[in-house]
Amino acid sequence: MIKIKNIEKTYIKASVLTPVLCGITLSIQRGEYVAIMGTSGTGKSTLMNIIGCLDKPTSGQLELDGIDVYKLDDDTPSSLRNNKIGFVFQQFFLLERTTALDNVLLPFIYADKYPADAIQRAKKTLANVGLEDRTEYLANELSGGQQQRVAIARALINDPDVILADEPTGNLDSTSTAEILEIFNRLNKEGRTIVVVTHDRAVAEHAQRILELKDGLITENGTNPNTENSDIH
Amino acid sequence: MKITKTIALSYKILTAHKLRTALCISSMTIGVAAVVVMVSMGRGAQKRVLDMIHDMGTNLIVVNAGHVTLVGGRERQSAIVTSLRPEDADAILDHCTSVIEVAPETSRKMNVEWESENLMTEIVGISPAAFRIRNIEIKTGSNFDSIENDTGKRVAIVGSVIVEKLFNGENPVGYRIRIGNAPFDVVGVMKAKGVDANGVDRDDRVLIPIKTAMLRLVRTTFIQKIHIQVADSEQLERAETEIRDLLRERHRLRDKPDDFTIQNQATLVQTERESARILTLLIGSVAAISLIVGGIGILAVMLTASRERRREIGLRRAIGARRRDIRTQFLLESLIIACLGGFSGTVLGILSNFLASKLGGWTALQSWDVTGAGLALSAIIGLIFGIYPASKASKLEPIEALRTE
């Protein structure tokens, strides 16, 4: 489903070249639950951003469902982000002073067609993450864990093929972390592809496959023997 | 992108930042209100001047003795000229085919007495034709006729200011007043006409038959003015030429310049209209500057917003917004601010016009075309000043925007 060929990314700041990814080749199958691990600055977020069409690689190729993303025009990555990818960020990125429901409805505005049953779908998705009684709450009135669940609902609303989560539990307490990881497990069991970027081994342990990044290269790429979700859909 | 949903979302975002939005709207409000008020005032002044000119009479030509120049929009006569005579008026009526009526006029400031009261006022000697030509209407009593004029009868018609000042508001018809030392019977009171285009109060005067004036009061053989009515406005130009030729011949001017000045009402209207148009344009331009200032307010607020909302822009890009969607969103927000400012400015402008007319006595001519133009202009300004921040916001790379601290 996701194919990365020889991806390189080098940042240029004040004429200084900083290589972050140094030729990564990777393939993620539909229905897989993959964790990308590494210490700070190893390029794991950069890799996730490239997979999510948020950032462009310096060189290399990215294929999503057979589409060579960066060979197409500027609108194609936007369309892919809207249809095929759902993002969950560490900082949640909800619109403040906007209700949970409106935050979840946001991706529909940029979809090809605004569904007639948008509100029902948004409410159902919020219920799916346990927030059926918080639909009219403003984002800033919710706890961190609830905000992250709203962000997951927003990521799910367009029924994407893959969920990309960058340190999704980084700002959460242990209870909320457990809830979020439980949601990811459930989504994966339902057939959703999940890629989680984390520096936390405990979080990564929930994935079927763990990739370890070091100095811009994948140093480990193996199936997680501890997970019960080891079968690839 | 779904435009109605985006408008609704833009509205929500704007209402979420109430103070910022209110400040921005108020700058547009003041700009649009200024345009509406100032142009309405300008047009009101224009209408007032034109009404005054039309109030002089219709299809009118005025021949003044000597040179009359306009200083600050008001007539100034250069010196006393004795060449214009009542016979000239008769000759114009006889020889100029397009002329249908003439009314010679002479005037002088004199003392008027009634009982123990007295005042200085303009004594104007006119022929009965002047009542028709110059739309002079009688409120109480009657005007004088040609027999009273020809026989030099001492009758007078007073203006409303004279009624107030000399007679303390009493109806003076039947009273005997003294003009200079000569007794005159008041036969009528003029309907109030207000101030004319030259700033002269037309109610602060006493009208008497011109023959009486020339024989018994001013004792001159010359006059100061002839009011001439032409059959229709099309013939004003031709009549002016005919009158000029006739007077030059009668005054034996040959190579000398005119010793009279002809004012054609059509030219006067055109001149006044032009000067009023320039005035309206000038004050409209000043008002437009305040509208631009309002636009700069939008620019500043939207630029601040695009900086403050970088993460939001990043998020929108992450969930599928294209560059043009971000551009549209910011433009819509500018447009909403500008339109709300335009609408409230229009309401404020109309209200100010109403108050200025009612309480301040100003003539504000509510011009709906300018009101519409003000609204349209505010939308255009919203778009123009919204383009740069919108374009700046749309150029942000999603990941760059999301990384904003």
Question: If you measure CA to CA, which chain B residue comes closest to A55?
Answer: B399
Q: pTM here?
A: 0.68
Q: Give me the percent of chain A exceeding a pLDDT of 70.
A: 96
pLDDT of residue B234: 81
Nearest CA in chain A to B395: A74
Q: Tell me, what's the ipTM?
A: 0.89
User: What stretches of B309-367 show up as alpha helix (H) in DSSP?
Assistant: 310-318, 323-358
Q: What is the mean pLDDT of residues A88-105?
A: 90
Furthest CA-CA distance within chain A: 52
Cα separations (Å) of B29 from A211, B301, B372?
59, 15, 14
Who among A75, A107, A114 is closest to B319 (CB)?
A: A107
Which pLDDT band holds residue A233 (cuts at 50, 70, 90)? Answer: very low
CA distances B251 to B97, B98, B256, Å, are 20, 21, 10
Provide the number of CB pairs (under 8 Å) joining chain A to chain B.
Answer: 74
How many whole angstroms separate alpha carbon B338 and alpha carbon B279?
Answer: 27
Q: Token digits for B265?
A: 């009402």
- Rounded to the nearest angstrom, the minimum Cα separation between A79 and chain B is 6
Cβ within 8 Å, pair A78-B321:
yes
Q: Which residue has the tokens 């255009």?
A: B380
The mean pLDDT value for A93-98 works out to: 87
CA angle B172, B175, B178 (to 5 degrees): 110
| pLDDT for residue B197 | 65
**3-class DSSP assignment, residue B234:** helix
Distance CA A206, CA A223 (A): 11
Query: pLDDT tens for residues A34-80?
Result: 999 988 888 889 999 999 988 889 999 999 888 888 777 778 888 88
Q: Are A212 and A35 in contact (CB under 8 A)?
A: no
Interchain proximity A89–B402, CB inside 8 Å: yes
Rounded to whole angstroms, how far apart are CA atoms A167 and A217? 19
Q: What does the alpha-carbon distance between residue B196 and residue B202 come to, in Å, rounded to a whole number?
A: 7
**DSSP state at residue B191:** P
The three-state secondary structure class of B102 is strand
Which residue, among A45, A41, A29, has the nearest Cα to A165 in the 3D structure? Answer: A45
Q: Which residue in A83, A98, A110 is closest to B1 by CB distance?
A: A110
Rounded-to-integer distance, Cα B123 and Cα B139, Å: 19
Residue A193: the pLDDT is 93
Closest CA of chain A from B300, distance in Å: 22
What burial class does residue B132 get, using C-beta atoms within 10 Å of its C-beta: 0-12 exposed, 13-18 middle, 19+ buried? middle
Given B5, B398, B399, which is nearest A109 (Cβ)?
A: B5
Taking phi first (over 0 means left), then psi (-120 to 50 degrees means alpha), and beta for anything else, what does residue A220 get?
beta
Question: How far is residue A75's CA from residue A196's CA, in Å, rounded to a whole number?
Answer: 25
Answer yes or no: are the C-beta atoms of B210 and B226 closer than 8 Å.
no
Contact A119/B at CB under 8 A: no
pLDDT at B160: 93
pLDDT of residue B279: 79
Q: Which residues of chain B have pLDDT under 50?
A: none
What pLDDT is recorded for position B106? 93
A92 near B CB under 8 A: no
Those residues whose C-beta lies under 8 Å from the C-beta of residue B262, and which sit 6 or more positions away, are: B61, B62, B63, B64, B240, B243, B244
Amino acid at A135: T
Residue in A55, A82, A91 closest to B320 by CB = A82
Handedness of CA B189, B191, B192, B195 (dihedral sign): negative
Cβ <8 Å between A102 and B6: no
CA atoms within 13 A on the CB side of B405: 0
Q: Is A186 on the interface with B (CB under 8 A)?
A: no
* A79-99 mean pLDDT: 89
First to last CA, chain A: 11
Beta-carbon contacts of residue B127 (< 8 Å; ≥ 6 apart): B89, B102, B103, B104, B105, B146, B149, B209, B210
Q: For the CA atoms of chain B, what is the radius of gyration?
A: 32
Angle at B211 between CA B207 and CA B215, to 5 degrees: 110
Considering only CB atoms, B2 lies closest to which of A89, A95, A109, namely A109
What confidence tier does A228 reach under pLDDT thresholds 50, 70, 90? low
Instruction: Give me the sheet containing A59-64, strands edge to edge.
Output: A16-28, A2-13, A59-64, A67-68
**A75 contacts in B (CB within 8 Å)?**
322
Chain position carrying tokens 């114009």: B92
Q: Do B317 and A74 touch (CB under 8 A)?
A: no
The nearest CA of chain A is from the CA of B23 a distance in Å of 19
C-alpha separations of A18 from A4, A58, A95, B403 in Å: 21, 12, 33, 18
Q: How far is A166 from chain B (nearest CA, A)?
A: 12
- For A77, nearest residue in chain B (alpha carbons): B320
A1 touches chain B (CB under 8 A): no
Closest in B1, B312, B323 to A95, CB measured? B312
CB contact under 8 A, A114 and B6: no
**Cβ contact B311–A111 (<8 Å):** no
Both structure tokens of B259: 């010793």
pLDDT at A230 over 60: no
For residue A89, give how far its alpha carbon lies from the nearest alpha carbon of chain B (Å): 10
- From CA B180, how far away is CA B215, in angstroms rounded? 13
The chain A residue lying nearest B402, using CA atoms, is A93
The residue extents of the domains of chain B are: 3-51+271-402, 82-258
Contact A87 B321 (CB under 8 A): no
**Chain A window 122-181: which residues touch B at a Cβ cutoff of 8 Å?**
154, 158
Cα–chain center distance at A8: 20
Evaluated on CA atoms A65, A70, A73, A79, the torsion sign reads positive
Q: How far apart are CA B68 and CA B262, in angstroms?
A: 9
Q: What are the structure tokens assigned to B151, written together?
A: 């026989």
- How does pLDDT run across A139-190, given as a tens digit for each residue? 999 999 999 999 999 999 988 989 999 999 888 888 889 988 998 999 999 8
- A29 Cα to chain B: minimum distance (Å): 22
User: Partners of B117 in the beta sheet?
Assistant: B114
| Residue B252: burial class (beta carbons within 10 Å; 0-12, 13-18, 19+) | exposed
Residue A232 in this model has a pLDDT that exceeds 60: no
Domains annotated for chain A, with CATH where assigned, are 32-56+71-223 (3.40.50.300)
Is B320–A83 a contact, with Cβ atoms under 8 angstroms apart?
yes
For residue B385, the 8-state DSSP code is H
A45 inside 8 A of chain B by CB: no
